[in-house]
Structure 1
């Protein structure tokens, strides 16, 4: 049975994990602001690719100052809790992402790779899949894949639906089952919180500056 936490229960659970809803919402809105800069003249996947990459970046920018670490083991991008006991990856989700619908669970929108499949099996304590020589025991550090949480998001024209959830079931590369789901409040893309400060990288002379991004 999947545990679903919402509202004040969700916030308490986030705090237990060293997180907060505000922190994750801020990262998602910053990534959304950058995804909105795509115009349709880029390749068709540009908006989704931008959203994914910037979500990873902005989650890390929020958490690394708090002692978290980043890791890109075999291009599996995780942000690791200071204790090393769990980490966060990110993905897009289906229409049940970020909402509590009785009898329904979210799935990842697209199939995931072999390392994600291994991580889900690790979470479920179901042993190791046979994924060939490249992923044989000894070729992959299974400790890296333990306790992977997924920051799952679904974006519509008006709203970002999101949750932080612990996956335990995967079929044909699609994550379909979860031990625990911690739902974020629905995030308005039309009337978001005040402008999000986006840290720009230092310029050549060593000075840094902020750009206030007004979300449309």
Structure 2
């Protein structure tokens, strides 16, 4: 894994553990020689992830839609011009396609609606065979306990096929999560399945 897309919130929660977590993840990835591909903003957990990686001398590639660039400190996330590379794209669809194209996998830190959108699209694309890259959820502080339980519930009810129940990998700390991602077994996408078994 030479580069990982890091999905996380652009907000700054009142609990400082979340921002510190994001900084530490960026730093740890850089120290392992893993480049960070992220949303290109300088605020919240996104900005902290980039700062951690940059402070450790790592590669940081930001991908941000035009509408979120912001000018003179007004509007949007305000693009992080300190990135190794900053790609300004047309919209969110191009942004997520770039995340997938530029990275070798996805690490999901705590975040809100945008982070959920990115996570579930990555999972859906893996199911369909649009990519075969590992997806890791960093369940720090139990933040994703409910989401992981809901994912198990979808599988139990029958909305997630047995072949796809291992797409989302999770761990409470980064090191074991990266280990899981490096050793994930190949997933059989829907397009490669026997239609009679779907």
Question: Higher strand share goes to which structure?
Answer: 1
Instruction: Note whether the superposition's TM-score is higher than 0.5.
Output: no
What TM-score does the superposition give when structure 1 sets the normalisation length?
0.26
